[in-house]
Amino acid sequence: MYNQSPNRRGGGLSPISGALKNLGQKIRRICQECGEEFEATNLGIATLIYCPKCSEGKARQEEERREADRRAEAESRYHRLIAIAQIPPKWKDVTFDNSDPKLNPQAFRVAKRYAERFTAQSPSLAFYSGGNGVGKTRMAACIANYVLHEKKKPVIFKKARDLMLGIRRTFSDRGELTEADILDKVLSVQLLVLDDVGLDPTSQWLQATYWTVFDRRLEWQLPVIITTTIPFEAPEGKVSLADRVG
């Protein structure tokens, strides 16, 4: 639309229209960073305010800032993962590098290969022996630490008894956590490690809770690693793991 000026005979283009005529033309500008004059293309309010050298420096600074923000966020997320993992002090520093593969060569090979190839769709894994002190928990902790620190994936490592006690405590406590809060965490984490499964005498509630954990994670194709001293199958009159966990 044309703007008729009362001071001109026959009218004419407004200053705005005149400015539009100059769009795309080369103009001289003063860099707001270094004060040097430079040539720029007239883009109206989008016209460059920094010379090419300063623009490049500004872009580099912005990319460095973004990269620093990304690193800070990654570091913050990593520390949150460590807190969520709850790996006990006894096991938080154990690795495949500081473990003796000769103690149980087959278990060591299986555990190391599992950790290195871990994804959220990895199969579940069980470490069983009829006694204590053979390295079951250490191998499970090595996997948990590798997945947590090398792959930066969320892990929860808990004694099975502590998990059950934590859930039971919600029945009487008036704290913020509910049974559903605790279960939601162990049901959704990428890797759940339960140590000493089946250690406690069974009960209907215990079996139902174990069933909820294992069945739900199976449905969502999320792996569980367990350690146990209870055999999966046992002769008649003896206790099997199925008797303890349902």
Block means of pLDDT (10 residues each) for the chain, 246 residues, are 47 56 84 91 88 92 92 90 94 96 94 96 91 88 98 96 89 74 90 93 88 92 93 71 74
Examine the domain organization and report whether 173 and 148 are in the same domain: yes
Token code pair at residue 199: 């250690």
Give the residues across from 191 on adjacent strands. 155
Which pLDDT does position 17 carry in this prediction? Answer: 59
Neighbours of 238 (CB within 10 A): 10
Q: Are strands 37-41 and 26-30 parallel, antiparallel or unpaired?
A: antiparallel
What's the confidence (pLDDT) of residue 191? 97
- As for how many domains the chain has, the answer is 2
Q: How wide is the angle at C-alpha 76 spanned by C-alphas 74 and 81, nearest 5°?
A: 90
- The answer to whether the CB of 156 falls within 8 A of the CB of 86 is yes
Token pair of 69 as six digits:
């923000």
CATH code of the domain containing 202: 3.40.50.300
For residue 25, the one-letter residue type is Q
Token pair for 11: 């009218």
Residue 164 and residue 219 in one domain? yes
> Does the CA dihedral 227-230-123-111 come out positive or negative?
positive
Cα 241 to chain center, whole Å? 32
Domain containing 233: what range?
86-245
Tell me what pLDDT residue 129 has: 86
Q: Of 83, 104, 120, at which residue does a domain stop? A: 83
Are 103 and 71 in a shared domain? Answer: no
- The reply to whether 204 and 109 lie within a common domain is yes
pLDDT for 145: 98
0.85 exceeded by the pTM? no
Give yes or no: residues 69 and 96 share one domain.
no
Contact 15, 22 (CB under 8 A): no
State the pLDDT at residue 3. Answer: 47
Burial class (CB in 10 A: 0-12, 13-18, 19+), 182: middle
Structure tokens at 234: 């046992």
- The confidence score (pLDDT) of residue 4 equals 46
Say yes or no: 98 and 203 in one domain.
yes
Do 178 and 99 belong together in one domain? Answer: yes
Is the same domain home to 79 and 182?
no
Q: Tell me how far apart the alpha carbons of residues 192 and 178 are, in angstroms, rounded to a whole number.
A: 19
pLDDT in the model for residue 2: 43
Are 12 and 120 part of one and the same domain?
no
